């Protein structure tokens, strides 16, 4: 499977979680958002007017390309990318690396999906790794709410995403 083919699978999961509505929730630190693309992190875009096709290309160029997701097992790549859209790339990869530790595979916890991390993800029992990754993501979301109580409004949706 090519990187773009894997991305095409992953983006459908992301868009399912993010939805297509334009939102401007004052508690959302990304500010106005559409298709999960936040104005704050993409100041050169007018997110309110984004089409689905444009959003997909933004995700390809800014959120997928160059992040090495294609070197992970397919289901893990999809999950890590989906988490990265919401948590940030480094935090999502850190969740993966902690999940690998939970599966008994020691890798550096540095938020970088290098050869060691990708190789360990290939070696891991995929069912166990996915369970550990979901748990790590849920823990990360809970920690974010504990650090910033104003984010509790998002906790339910975040936990649904973690366990999806």
The domain defined by 3-163 folds into: Chitosanase, subunit A; domain 1 (1.20.141)
Instruction: Give the separation between CA 4 and CA 160, rounded to whole angstroms.
Output: 26
Q: Per residue in 33-75, pLDDT tens?
A: 999 999 999 999 999 999 999 999 999 999 999 999 999 999 9
Residue extents of the structural domains in the chain: 3-163
Question: Rounded mean pLDDT of 138-154?
Answer: 96
Which tokens belong to 162? 């973690």
**Which positions ≥6 away from 121 have C-beta within 8 Å?**
72, 73, 76, 96, 100, 129
Question: Rounded mean pLDDT of 127-153?
Answer: 97
Question: Rounded mean pLDDT of 140-151?
Answer: 96
Instruction: Give the separation between CA 142 and CA 84, rounded to whole angstroms.
Output: 16
Instruction: Give the separation between CA 94 and CA 144, rounded to whole angstroms.
Output: 14
Q: For residue 106, name the pLDDT band (cuts at 50, 70, 90).
A: very high
DSSP alpha helices (H): ranges in the chain?
A: 3-18, 52-58, 74-87, 89-102, 115-123, 126-147, 152-163
């Amino acid at each position: 499977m090519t990187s773009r083919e894997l991305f095409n699978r992953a983006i459908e999961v992301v868009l399912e979680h993010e939805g297509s509505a334009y939102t401007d929730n004052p508690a959302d630190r990304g500010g106005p958002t559409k298709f999960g693309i936040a104005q704050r992190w993409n100041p050169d875009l007018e997110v309110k007017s984004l089409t689905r096709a444009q959003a997909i290309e933004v995700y390809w160029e800014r959120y997928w390309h160059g992040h090495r997701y294609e070197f992970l097992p397919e289901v893990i790549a999809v999950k890590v990318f989906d988490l990265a859209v919401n948590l940030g790339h480094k935090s999502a990869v850190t969740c993966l690396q902690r999940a690998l530790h939970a599966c008994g595979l020691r890798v550096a916890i540095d938020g970088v999906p290098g050869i060691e991390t990708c190789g360990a993800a290939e070696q891991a029992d995929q069912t166990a790794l996915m369970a550990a990754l979901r748990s790590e993501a849920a823990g990360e979301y809970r920690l974010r709410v504990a650090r910033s109580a104003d984010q509790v409004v998002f906790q339910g949706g975040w936990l649904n995403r973690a366990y999806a």
